[in-house]
C-alpha cells in the first residue's frame, strides 16, 4: 500500500478542518454573508447561525448558552480572564495560583500581572507532569482570589485533577479558571460538576477552523465579572466587541456537534494509534523514555525522550513526517522546553524529546510507516554520532 507523505502527526498543534465542518461553513462566505449585528434578513440569518452554534456548544458543555462568549481563540479567552479580573483591583488584594506547566498564554499573561505587583504563586508539578491538588491548598493565602490551571498539557498531554481542585475552589470561594484547549473534544468532563468559573478553548484543536475560540463564564457566580479590555461595540456582552466571524463560529458549532457524536470513537481510534506507535518504537529502540505519565494522558498525545539524538536533527532526517520538538507556540526557540524542564529533565533530555499527536484522519498504515521511519532515522543518527566520536578519539590519540 502506497503511503502519501508527508504524514501529519502534530494534532496537538492544530488539526485538519473536518470536511463536514468546511461544508457547513461555506454558505456563510457567500450566500449567507450578512453581519450578525445587521437588522435585516441577511443579518438575521447570520445571527441565527451564530446562536445555533452557541446552543450546540452550550449543550455539549451542559451549561446555559448565555454563558458562552466567542473570541478569536483560547489565547484571547485566557487573557480576557486574567486581565479582566484584575483591571480595577488593588494588586495587593489579589493573589493568584497557577502551575509551571501552563501554556504560554497563561504563563505570560500572569507574568505580566506579576510585573504590575500582583502576587502570583507558581506550583511545581511532580515528575509525572501533573499538578498535585495538595500543593495548591498549601499555597492558599487570605487574599487568594483566582486559581488558573491547565486541564491537559499541550506538550506532554498529562491530565490534571481538575475536579478536586474545583471542589476546593468552591469550598474556599475562590474563582477557578481552566485552560481546556487540549481537553475539549478529547475527554469527557462536566463543567458544572467541576465547579469551573471560566473555561477557555478553541476550535482548531478539534477539527474546526483557526481564529475562533470560546470563553465560558459562570454568570451565576457574582464574583465572575470581567472588566472591559476591548472597545468598539457591544457584541458578546462587550467582552469581545467587533464584527462576529460568522463562518468560523458556524464551523466551531459543527466541529463540536461532530465531537458530541464521535468523541468515543475518536478516543478509541487515537489511543490505538498512539499505543501501536509507541510499542513499535520501544520494541525496536533502546534508550526511549516517556515524558509524563501514560496513566492520566490525552488519548492522542505521545512525548518521549530519545537517548543520544537531538530532536531537531531527527526532524531534519524525517521530512516525510510532521511532528514537533516543542509546543508550536515555542517552536522558534532553541532553548529546552520549559515544560520538560519542569518535569526535571536535563537540557540534553529536553532537547532530545519529540511530540507526536495522532488524529481522527490518521491510519494504522501511516503509523506503521512513521514508526519504522523513526527507528531508521534514530539508528542512522546514533551511528553517525558514534562514528564522529570515534574519529575525534583517533585524532586525539595521534596528537
Please report the DSSP string for 33-62 in residue order. ---TT-SSHHHHHHHHHHHHHHHHHHHHHT
| Mean residue pLDDT across the chain | 95
pLDDT at 388: 60
What pLDDT does 390 receive? Answer: 53
Question: Within a 10 A sphere around the Cβ of 210, how many other Cβ atoms?
Answer: 16
Average pLDDT of span 260-285:
98
Q: Are 358 and 14 in contact (CB under 8 A)?
A: no
Count the Cβ atoms, other than its own, within 10 Å of residue 396: 8
Instruction: Give tens-digit pLDDT for 341-392.
Output: 999 999 999 999 999 999 999 999 999 999 999 999 999 999 998 756 554 4
> In the predicted model, what is the mean pLDDT of residues 135-139?
97
Strand partners, 288: 306
Report yes or no: 146 and 94 within 8 Å, Cβ to Cβ: yes
Rounded average pLDDT over 109-138: 97
Domain boundaries, the chain: 7-14+263-398, 19-258
Give the pLDDT confidence score for residue 326 in this predicted structure: 66
Hey, which residues are catalytic here? 329
Question: Do 7-14+263-398 and 19-258 have matching folds?
Answer: no
DSSP string, 136-189: HHHT--TTEEEEEEESB-TTT-BB--HHHHHHHHHHHT-EEEEE-TTTTTTS--
pLDDT, residue 386, reads 73
User: What would the CATH number be for the domain defined by 7-14+263-398?
Assistant: 3.90.1150.10
Q: Decide if pLDDT at 393 tops 90.
A: no
In this prediction, residue 391 carries a pLDDT of 44
| Three cell numbers, residue 368 | 506503521
Find the helix or strand (DSSP H, E) in which 106 lies. helix 104-115
Residue 322 near residue 9 (C-beta atoms within 8 A): yes
Task: Give backbone dihedrals phi and psi of 82, rounded to 5 degrees, phi first.
Answer: -60, -45
Q: What is the pLDDT of residue 261?
A: 98
Q: Tell me: pLDDT of 13 over 90.
A: yes
**pLDDT (mean) for 143-147:** 98
Fold of 19-258: 3.40.640
Residue the block writes with cell 526511549: 288
pLDDT attached to residue 120: 98
CA distances to 104, 111, 130, 341 from 310, rounded to whole Å, are 24, 30, 25, 16
Give the mean model confidence (pLDDT) for residues 262-284.
98
What is the mean pLDDT of the segment spanning 22-39? 97
Q: What is the pLDDT of residue 335?
A: 87
Q: List, for residues 94-107, the tens digit of each pLDDT value.
A: 999 999 999 999 99
Amino acid at each position: 500500500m502506497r503511503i502519501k507523505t508527508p504524514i501529519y502527526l502534530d494534532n496537538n498543534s492544530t488539526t485538519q478542518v473536518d470536511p463536514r465542518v468546511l461544508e457547513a461553513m461555506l454558505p456563510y462566505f457567500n450566500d449567507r454573508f450578512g453581519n450578525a449585528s445587521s437588522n435585516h434578513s441577511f443579518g438575521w440569518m447570520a445571527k441565527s447561525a451564530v446562536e445555533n452554534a452557541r446552543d450546540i456548544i452550550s449543550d455539549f458543555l451542559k451549561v446555559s448558552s448565555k454563558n458562552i462568549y466567542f473570541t478569536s481563540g483560547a489565547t484571547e479567552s485566557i487573557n480576557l480572564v486574567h486581565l479582566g479580573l484584575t483591571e480595577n483591583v488593588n494588586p495587593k488584594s489579589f493573589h493568584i495560583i497557577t502551575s509551571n506547566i501552563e501554556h504560554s498564554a497563561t504563563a505570560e499573561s500572569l507574568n505580566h500581572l506579576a510585573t504590575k505587583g500582583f502576587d502570583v504563586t507558581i506550583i511545581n508539578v511532580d515528575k509525572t507532569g501533573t499538578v498535585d491538588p495538595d500543593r495548591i491548598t498549601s499555597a492558599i493565602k487570605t487574599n487568594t482570589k483566582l486559581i488558573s490551571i491547565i486541564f491537559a498539557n499541550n506538550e506532554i498531554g498529562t491530565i490534571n485533577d481538575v475536579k478536586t481542585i474545583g471542589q476546593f475552589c468552591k469550598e474556599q470561594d475562590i474563582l477557578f479558571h481552566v485552560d481546556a484547549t487540549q481537553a475539549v473534544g478529547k475527554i469527557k468532563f462536566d463543567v458544572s460538576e467541576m465547579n469551573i468559573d471560566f473555561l477557555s478553548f478553541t476550535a482548531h484543536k478539534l477539527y474546526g477552523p483557526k481564529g475562533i475560540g470560546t470563553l465560558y463564564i459562570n454568570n451565576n457566580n457574582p464574583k465572575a465579572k470581567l472588566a472591559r479590555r476591548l472597545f468598539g461595540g457591544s457584541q458578546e456582552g462587550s467582552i469581545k466587541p467587533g464584527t462576529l466571524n460568522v463562518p468560523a463560529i458556524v464551523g466551531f458549532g459543527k466541529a463540536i456537534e461532530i465531537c458530541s457524536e464521535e468523541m468515543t470513537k475518536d478516543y478509541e481510534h487515537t489511543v490505538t494509534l498512539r499505543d501501536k506507535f509507541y510499542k513499535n518504537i520501544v520494541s525496536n529502540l533502546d534508550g526511549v523514555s516517556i515524558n509524563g505519565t501514560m496513566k492520566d494522558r490525552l488519548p492522542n498525545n505521545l512525548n518521549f525522550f530519545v537517548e543520544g539524538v537531538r530532536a531537531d536533527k531527527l526532524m531534519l532526517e524525517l521530512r516525510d513526517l510532521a511532528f514537533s520538538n516543542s509546543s508550536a507556540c515555542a517552536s522558534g526557540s532553541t532553548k529546552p522546553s520549559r515544560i520538560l524542564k519542569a518535569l526535571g529533565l536535563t537540557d540534553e533530555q529536553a532537547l532530545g524529546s519529540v511530540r507526536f499527536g495522532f488524529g481522527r484522519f490518521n491510519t494504522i498504515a501511516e503509523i506503521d510507516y512513521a514508526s519504522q521511519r523513526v527507528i531508521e532515522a534514530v539508528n542512522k543518527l546514533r551511528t553517525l554520532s558514534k562514528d564522529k566520536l570515534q574519529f575525534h578519539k583517533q585524532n586525539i590519540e595521534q596528537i
